[in-house]
Structure 1
């Protein structure tokens, strides 16, 4: 593979990045080639010392997705970061994806329970009206209102748990990239 082919393949791998990011990366690699050629190396020696364009592209794309997820905290950006990192190693699949299915399922169950608790006064009234057994006991409504408070506390707990999981995922993804990069450098 020659320099032009290498740079073309790298640009192809970076096609998912914003144009300015892609241009910066391409400029850095062109500059790297220029410096190495000035030191007397030929393009085949330079390419031999580098990773493949595909691996470089995956790493840069993953790093960019993680940076974006740190600045724009939402489910879409974290899923994009996880997806980009999955392409780098099978370890990510085992350590991130499988536990995320369990954590996500657990959080959905908690969210459903919080919603039921929050809506318990309305559910109590609807149940009473449908069965023609509208309760006059004030204690039933007080318990239903306390469940509403419990539902609100559960919503806040779920939000804090989601924030913690989000930060842990980002830390792991950064660690994963450093580990893979370190392994490739050796």
Structure 2
């Protein structure tokens, strides 16, 4: 292989590097050829001493990505280091694929922890603003909850029916064994039904008149102010702890992987010098 063929293959294999850095590398190896020719060596001998230009390009690419990661530590640069090391054959597919999946899972865990932390901060901030400024208003009805629970759970099982002179009616149905209860109100204008399920939540609200009807399910009492504070603190603790754990895992992963890549690249460079 002569100089032109070697430089051409090297330049093609370095196509993923920035143009300025690629040109600097090509200039260095062109100068290396000139020095070798001046020392009386042939182009074929110099090219043979440098080895396969494609393998050399992979080594140089790995060095580039390692240096880039050292200057700016990020998941993107870490993925590039993994890809470069795998491309050199130092990390085969059976190891690279699970490792990339681990990095993806670590990224998702960090994003999830961030979301949990933000949710906790929002709840805590809402509670703090409510206590300091009275806004936003946190709606809670402990008296209504207590009355409703006493009605649903207390007393014998049975029904109450009240009839009005103009066709109005109120039906109260209570099932003490199952914990379900409902109130049904009917008049000439329409009907209203309110149901409570066994989990102490408002399960369904049904409103109907001559023009239409509304049916809402899955109702609940919502968070109280104290519940909002405790939930916010819990989410902040979980999110913050998750982020800290992800940070530690990422830091250990970065250090171990880059140290491995730097070590392997050094071995290749040392072997190349021995061959020369």
**TM-score normalised according to structure 2 size:** 0.55
User: What displacement does 1:19 show?
Assistant: 2.4
Q: Is the 8 A contact 1:118 1:147 kept in 2?
A: no
Q: CA RMSD in A?
A: 3.1
- Structure 1 distance, partners of 2:223, 2:26, is 72
Stretches of structure 1 that go unaligned for 5 or more consecutive residues are none
User: Is the radius of gyration larger for structure 1 or structure 2?
Assistant: 2
Q: Could you tell me which residue of structure 2 aligns to residue 171 of structure 1? A: 259
Cα distance between partner residues in 2 of 1:177 and 1:86: 12
**Runs in 1 of length 4+ with deviation above 6 angstroms?**
none
3-state SS of paired residue (1:91): coil
8 Å CA contact retained: 1:86, 1:93: yes
Report which of the two has the higher share of strand: 2
Q: How far apart, CA to CA, are the structure 1 residues paired with 2:98 and 2:228?
A: 42
* Structure 2: gaps (5+ residues): 124-137, 139-200, 203-217
Checking the alignment, whether the CA contact within 8 Å between 1:118 and 1:152 is kept in structure 2 is no
7 and 164 in structure 1: CA distance in 2 versus 1, 3 angstrom threshold? same
State the 1:89 CA deviation.
Answer: 0.7
Map of 1:59 onto structure 2: 59
CA shift in 2, pair 1:56/1:142, >3 Å? same
The structure, 1 or 2, with the larger RCO (C-alpha pairs under 8 Å, 6+ apart) is: 1
Match of 1:156 in 2: 244
* Superposition TM-score, scaled by structure 1 size: 0.77
